[in-house]
């Protein structure tokens, strides 16, 4: 029985070049700013057992300050417990965080899976049941800007051509934070004409369109351009199954919703209400690898595909173990910006624009656990605070 002896949480900071805070149409966000330097904060979780085995996970998109607070609340439960009790922990934490969004649960569960895989000498996807070694990736762009990168329809279409020349078979764009339906529709139709069937196209509205009428207007453009899916259209933040069922009845393009719908039960209810065609899952957002796999199996029972949100080693392991998924999201990429993922890997792992092979696919790591090695010299050099639970 692998008993957990100690847990460490490491908060760290790093910088991203040519990125800065942008105020656009009453919306604060980050984007391309030539010459700027943006400080970012993420955190790592380390779980060590008394037998010396060790699990590690460094957060990506989900490593927010709010998630960190929840993670610190949960890891205090672990010392002295059997590390294989992931399902029991899921059940306990599902209740513990019922008044919160569960975002801090994912990193801890992912770390437990990395630990279990290293103990077994198998990748996480092999432990779950591996179905592929590679998966087709799509280039998932940064949002449109007004500062010199994706700042025009031509800039987006030129970037789509660049991605196609690199080997990408699929391309998803995020439009402008302005939420102007006419501009969004014009860009969608322009991409359809430019690509002309050579790549699969998707659009993520990122909840920037203001009204249902805006969402319907842009959805008609997705129909005209033959997009595969239309994601998170407008400012209900993709939480109303009724409105999305209504939207589905008025356009042809399939909807991809549930990125913002927390918990397995709520996602299931959204599907049953007819609010989506594809289902979103993310091991950081959806209560870990345990929660993401539950979501994938639930979607499979409905005969639906589940698309994994965002990139990362845990996300790749999910893609390696889920039959009913189609793509890996290489987010976010642009012609002048690297990804914001921390450069914390010692083995060359990365999620950048040039990470695909010549066929537009991405590898599923097959080493033990998540299949990656972290650069602890880099992490320790960038650490700003540490918390220890259990023995020192």
Q: What is the mean pLDDT of residues 328-337?
A: 97
Q: Quick check: 182 pLDDT over 80? A: yes
Q: Quick check: 391 pLDDT over 80? A: no
Q: What is the mean pLDDT of residues 47-58?
A: 98
Burial-class residue 54 by CB neighbours within 10 Å (0-12, 13-18, 19+).
Answer: middle
Domain of 35 in residue numbering reads as 4-123+370-390
Instruction: Please give, one letter per residue, the 3-state secondary structure of the chain.
Output: CCEEEEEEEEEEEEEEEEEEEEEECCEEEEEEEEEEEEEEEEEEEEEEECCCCEEEEECCCCCCHHHHHHHHHHHCCCCCCECCCHHHHHHHHHHHCCCCCCCCHHHHHHHHHHHHHHHHCCEHHHHHCCCCCEEEEEEEECCECCCCCCCCHHHHHHHHHHHHHHCCCEEEEECECCCCHHHHHHHHHHHHHHHCCCCEEEEECCCCECCHHHHHHHHHHHHHCCCCEEECCECCCCCCHHHHHHHHHHCCCCEEECCCCCCHHHHHHHHHCCCCCEEEECCCCCCHHHHHHHHHHHHHHCCCCEEECCCCHHHHHHHHHCCCCCCEEEEEECCCCCCCCCCCECCCCCCCHHHCCCCCEEECCCCCECCCCECHHHHHHHEEEEEEEECC
Query: 169 and 57, same structural domain?
Result: no
Considering the chain, what percentage of its residues have pLDDT values greater than 90?
A: 96
Query: 358 and 230, same structural domain?
Result: yes
pLDDT bracket for residue 18 (50, 70, 90): very high
How far apart, in whole angstroms, are the C-alpha atoms of residue 252 and residue 202?
A: 13
Task: Choose between 253 and 26: higher pLDDT.
Answer: 253
Q: Look up the CATH number of the domain holding residue 82.
A: 3.30.390.10
Q: What pLDDT is stored for residue 27 in this prediction?
A: 65
Q: Quick check: 265 pLDDT over 70? A: yes
Query: 148 and 118, same structural domain?
Result: no
Task: Give residue 267's Cα distance to chain centre.
Answer: 16
Instruction: Return the closest-CA partner of residue 387 out of 116, 73, 100, 89.
Output: 73
How far apart, in whole angstroms, are the C-alpha atoms of residue 71 and residue 111?
A: 11
Q: What is the mean pLDDT of residues 73-83?
A: 97
How far apart, in whole angstroms, are the C-alpha atoms of residue 33 and residue 346?
A: 29
Among 24-38, 55-69, 128-142, 220-234, the least confident range: 24-38
How far apart, in whole angstroms, are the C-alpha atoms of residue 44 and residue 183?
A: 40
Q: What pLDDT is stored for residue 1 in this prediction?
A: 86
Q: Quick check: 20 pLDDT over 80? A: yes
pLDDT bracket for residue 21 (50, 70, 90): confident
Query: 155 and 81, same structural domain?
Result: no
Q: Quick check: 194 pLDDT over 90? A: yes
Q: What is the mean pLDDT of residues 160-175?
A: 98
Query: 174 and 149, same structural domain?
Result: yes
Q: What pLDDT is stored for residue 25 in this prediction?
A: 62
Query: 84 and 72, same structural domain?
Result: yes
Query: 85 and 150, same structural domain?
Result: no
Q: Quick check: 359 pLDDT over 90? A: yes
Query: 142 and 91, same structural domain?
Result: no
Q: Quick check: 82 pLDDT over 70? A: yes
Query: 299 and 194, same structural domain?
Result: yes
Q: What pLDDT is stored for residue 29 in this prediction?
A: 79
Query: 85 and 70, same structural domain?
Result: yes
Q: What pLDDT is stored for residue 24 in this prediction?
A: 62
Query: 133 and 95, same structural domain?
Result: no
pLDDT bracket for residue 259 (50, 70, 90): very high
Q: What pLDDT is stored for residue 30 in this prediction?
A: 82
Whole-angstrom CA distances from 115 to 22, 127, 219, 269, 368 are: 40, 12, 44, 33, 9
Query: 131 and 108, same structural domain?
Result: no
Q: What pLDDT is stored for residue 31 in this prediction?
A: 87
Q: What is the mean pLDDT of residues 234-256?
A: 97
Considering the chain, what percentage of its residues have pLDDT values greater than 70?
A: 98
Q: What pLDDT is stored for residue 372 in this prediction?
A: 98
Residues 112, 48: contact at Cβ < 8 Å?
A: no
Q: What is the mean pLDDT of residues 94-105?
A: 97
Residues 363, 116: contact at Cβ < 8 Å?
A: no
Q: What is the mean pLDDT of residues 180-184?
A: 98
Number of domains in the chain: 2
pLDDT bracket for residue 348 (50, 70, 90): very high
Average pLDDT over the chain, rounded to an integer: 96
Q: Look up the CATH number of the domain holding residue 193.
A: 3.20.20.120
Q: What is the mean pLDDT of residues 6-29?
A: 86
């Amino acid at each position: 029985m692998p008993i957990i002896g100690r847990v460490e949480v490491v908060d760290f900071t790093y910088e991203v070049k040519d990125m800065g805070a942008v105020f656009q149409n009453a919306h604060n966000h980050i984007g391309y700013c030539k010459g700027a330097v943006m400080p970012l904060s993420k955190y790592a979780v380390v779980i060590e057992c008394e037998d010396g085995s060790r699990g590690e996970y460094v957060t990506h998109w989900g490593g927010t300050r709010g998630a960190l607070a929840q993670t610190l609340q949960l890891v205090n439960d672990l010392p002295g417990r059997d590390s294989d009790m992931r399902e029991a922990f899921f059940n306990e934490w599902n209740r513990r965080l019922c008044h919160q969004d569960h975002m801090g649960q994912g990193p801890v569960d992912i770390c437990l899976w990395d630990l279990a895989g290293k103990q077994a000498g198998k990748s996480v996807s092999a432990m779950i049941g591996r179905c592929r070694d590679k998966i087709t990736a799509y280039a998932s762009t940064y949002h449109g800007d007004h500062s010199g990168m994706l700042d025009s329809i031509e800039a987006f279409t030129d970037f789509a051509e660049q991605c196609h020349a690199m080997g990408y078979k699929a391309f998803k764009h995020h439009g402008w934070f302005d939420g102007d339906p006419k501009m969004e529709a014009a860009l969608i139709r322009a991409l359809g004409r430019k690509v002309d069937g050579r790549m699969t196209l998707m659009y993520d509205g990122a909840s920037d369109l203001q009204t249902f009428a805006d969402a319907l207007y842009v959805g008609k453009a997705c129909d005209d351009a033959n997009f595969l899916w239309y994601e998170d259209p407008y400012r209900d933040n993709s939480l109303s199954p009724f409105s999305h069922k209504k939207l589905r009845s008025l356009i042809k393009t399939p909807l991809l919703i549930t990125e913002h719908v927390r918990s397995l039960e709520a996602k299931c209810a959204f599907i049953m209400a007819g609010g989506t065609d594809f289902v979103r899952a993310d091991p950081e957002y959806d209560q870990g690898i345990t929660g993401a796999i539950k979501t994938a199996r639930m979607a499979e029972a409905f005969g639906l595909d589940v698309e994994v949100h965002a990139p990362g080693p845990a996300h790749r392991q999910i893609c390696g173990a889920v039959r009913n998924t189609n793509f890996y999201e290489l987010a976010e990429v642009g012609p002048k910006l690297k990804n914001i993922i921390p450069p914390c890997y010692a083995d060359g792992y990365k999620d950048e624009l040039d990470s695909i092979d010549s066929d537009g696919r991405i590898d599923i790591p097959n080493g033990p656990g998540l299949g990656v090695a972290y650069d602890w010299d880099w992490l320790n050099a960038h650490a700003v605070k540490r918390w220890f639970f259990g023995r020192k």
